[in-house]
Amino acid sequence: MNLIIKGKSTEYKVKVERATNNGFIVKAEGKFYKFNALPVKKGALSLIDDSGKQKYITYSVTDNNEYTISLAEKSYTLCVMDQLEAAGSAVSSASVEGVYLLKAPIAGKIAKICVSEGENVQKGEVLLVLEAMKMQNEIQTDFSGVINKVFVKEGKTVSNDEALIEIKIS
Amino acid sequence: MRKIKKVLVANRGEIALRIIRACRELGIESVAVYSDVDRLSLHVLSADYAFSLGAAPSVESYLNIEKIVEVALQAKVDAIHPGYGFLAENADFARAVEDAGIIFIGPSARTIELMGSKIASRQIMERVGVPVVPGTIDPISSIEEARKVAAKIGYPVLIKASAGGGGKGMRKVADEAELESAFRTASSEAQASFGDSTVYIEKYIENPRHIEVQIIGDTYGNVIHLFERECSIQRRHQKVIEEAPSPSINDTQRKALFEAAVKAALAVDYYNAGTVEFIFDKEGNFYFLEMNTRLQVEHPVTEFVTGVDIVKEQILISEGARLRRDLKNVSCWGHAIEFRLYAEDPKRNFAPTPGKISYLQWPNGGFVRIDEGVYEGWEVPIYYDPLIAKMIVWGRDRKEAIDRSLRALFDTRIEGITTTLDLFRAILRDQDFIEGNFDVSYLDKRLNDLIKDEAQELLPVLASAILESYREKLTVQDNDMWKKVARLESVGGCV
């Protein structure tokens, strides 16, 4: 997952990778951070980095993706843009009767298509790369199955919610 | 003696809840009143009875004397506690309550009236020998007279409109050269604003400290003091942090201050709880500022260092009880600090930040008290005071109180609205505050330093973690694990 995080005067481009068991590896500003994060309840999570340092984080998110994040010492307000965030909701709403229709989470350009029709894919596999806001977003499938149809070609500009790939879920 | 069995609390928010709690401890039934937007306010949820007052704007609800008295009669209460703000210092209200045959928990209407008048209270204090800011409240009619008075009390001086308020018709004069033009502009401004050009002159006290004394008296002429509170950390002339005892006065000054406060209260036949406010100049001289004829927002600071429940004493005194003998021997032990949690953004000049509290966590652990008026999920309305809660912390000495306050703030979280929490964390780490080196100008001078943005290297990490959990993709198995732990714990097992 790729994010753009905008603070008051700073902007970070962040790459987030899931490791096992709530583990994450975040690459930001050329540095790697490894940590484990676990939600406590709505609006709160506990984070432990690989030195064992624990942080209890509380937060609120507004509709326009403005985050307020509080640590024990101080609160921060920032804007998080995630090109993939909408993908999750597109997935669930489109999966009807064993068919999963992947839609474009945001407007952008298809940089690369990694699969072809008839191909078997596993959950988590990258289907295509969508370029938006100068970020390359790897779009994964949340379901295993067979590629039914690819609606787009590399280089095509797509709009938000446009159908990209259809998968027959196995 | 008239036993109080049911009290109407003519207020809202944290102070209404504070009073309801005192009633409950005394076995007294509580009656809340609420405006349309406050139907689910915390004070309503805590009360034994609740009655609607009307529309949200204060004039139609919490300031509506007629309606409140009507509700009080309908609810058959014995007494009304006004809290602070709203009608607490309104002599007409106190009179209306008494006229309805209901006990007003506070001083007499006459006392409220006397102390509400700048001129009357100053005259009384001068008469009984309580120090007031040097000057004259007799009208100054000519520039010659102004020159004479100013020279006598010494520059800088302040020219004030007799009918004034809110800084209108007020001029600071640094030396004689400035006097004439300041005198003229103040007079004409007073004429324009109040239709009365009368002005008077008093000494200008530059950046004083604000220190006040809690007093309590019964209806038999006994008045005692419950020590002082230091209240110099202010924004827009409103207190933000208060503490007891004051870190800046010595025992000699303290003794003189207490004597003056008791004298002030006796001079107006004061009964019930009240506060005499003073200002201290750089040389350590103090002057009477005003008397608040009600329960003070910061009363818990005094409660922590004395062990006295001031609200309960107020109720007992209103029943006609004498001051308990042990109250006269109360000592001040340790140090207490209060933080007023405002729904305000210090980074936007303390603009109010009404809205829904999406996450709320109060600190627990020893020696920490929360007087709160909100809960998680509650939407702070736009109509009223932005004070949402107070945190009061006690320590054996000031250092321990500061360290403990930081610890308590470590555990405090309020999400969904901006508050003064971060400002408090910064103040508690500020060397000037730690050393007790401040006056009323502290926040104005230091605010920008205290609220400046700091880099936080971990921000990208935090944001990523939140985003992931926000998408609710995390931890199905771990949540199950968690439930399992909870189940095991509830039957005394272990994992």
pLDDT for A82? 66
Determine the angle formed by the axes of helices B91-99 and B65-74, rounding to 10 degrees. 30
On whether any CB of chain B is under 8 Å from the CB of A1, the answer is yes
pLDDT at B488: 38
> Residue B166: its pLDDT value, please?
61
Average pLDDT over residues A135-139: 74
**What ipTM did this prediction achieve?**
0.79
- B456: confidence class by pLDDT, cuts 50, 70, 90: confident
Cross-chain CB nearest to A67 (options B411, B455, B466): B466
Mean pLDDT of B6-21: 98
Place of tokens 């034994």: B48
**Domain positions in chain A:** 2-82, 85-169
- pLDDT tens digits, one per residue of A33-45: 898 988 898 899 9
- In angstroms, the CA B428 to CA B185 distance is 42
Residue extents of the structural domains in chain B: 6-105, 134-203, 209-450, 459-490
Statement: residue A134 has pLDDT above 60: no
Which CATH number applies to B209-450: 3.30.470.20, 3.40.50.1000, 3.20.20.70, 3.40.50.12280? 3.30.470.20
Calculate how close chain A gets to B362, using CA atoms only, in Å: 12
pLDDT at B495 over 70: no
Cβ pair B462:A47 closer than 8 A:
yes
Which A residues, 103 through 142, put their C-beta within 8 Å of a C-beta on chain B?
none
B172-188 pLDDT tens trace: 899 999 999 999 988 88
pLDDT attached to residue A93: 39
pLDDT tops 90 at residue B464: no
* ω into B354 cis (within 30 of 0): no
Each residue's pLDDT tens digit, B367-408: 999 999 999 999 999 899 999 999 999 999 999 999 999 999
Average pLDDT over all residues of chain B: 91
At A113, the amino acid letter reads I
Q: CB distance B478–A16 less than 8 Å?
A: no
- Assign a CATH topology to domain B6-105: Rossmann fold (3.40.50)
Looking at residue B476, its pLDDT comes to 41
Residue B221 pLDDT class (50, 70, 90 cuts): very high
Average pLDDT over every residue of B5-9: 98
The architecture in CATH of the region A85-169 reads Beta Barrel (2.40)
Across the interface, of B454, B462, B471, the residue whose CB is closest to A85 is B471
pLDDT digits (tens, 9 = 90+) for B73-123: 999 999 999 999 999 999 999 999 999 999 999 999 999 999 988 778 889
Exposure pattern of A37-46 as b/e (b: 16+ CB <10 Å)? bbbeeebbbe
The confidence score (pLDDT) of residue B81 equals 98
Is residue B291 scored above 70 in pLDDT?
yes
Closest CA to B38 of B18, B22, B20, B61: B61
Reading the block at residue B248, the tokens are 């800046």
Q: pLDDT-derived band of residue A4, with 50, 70 and 90 as boundaries? A: confident
Read off the pLDDT band of B167 (50, 70, 90): low
Mutation pick from A20, A69, A79, A84 vs chain B, by most beta carbons of B within 10 Å, is A69
Q: Which helix (H) or strand (E) holds B160?
A: strand B157-161
Determine the distance in angstroms separating the CA of A118 from the nearest CA of chain B, rounded to an integer: 28
Q: For residue B467, which residues of chain A lie inside 8 Å, CB to CB?
A: 1, 3, 16, 80, 82, 85
The Cα of B57 is separated from the nearest Cα of chain A by a number of Å equal to: 28
pLDDT digits (tens, 9 = 90+) for A98-129: 788 888 876 678 989 999 999 999 888 889 98
Question: For residue B54, what are the β-bridge partners?
Answer: B35
Q: What is the pLDDT of residue B188?
A: 87
Q: Is A80 on the interface with B (CB under 8 A)?
A: yes
A74 vs B474: CB contact, 8 Å cut-off? no
User: Does the domain spanning B134-203 belong to CATH 3.30.1490.20?
Assistant: yes
Q: Residue B364 burial by CB count (10 A; 0-12/13-18/19+): exposed, middle or buried?
A: exposed
- Taking residues B349-375, what's their average pLDDT? 95
Q: CATH: 2.40.128, 3.40.50, 3.40.1000, 1.10.3470. Which one for A2-82?
A: 2.40.128
Supply the DSSP string of B91-149, one letter for each residue.
Answer: HHHHHHHHHTT-EESSS-HHHHHHHH-HHHHHHHHHHHT--B-SEEEEEE-SHHHHHHH
Could you give the residue numbers annotated as active site of B?
A: 294
Contact A80 B467 (CB under 8 A): yes
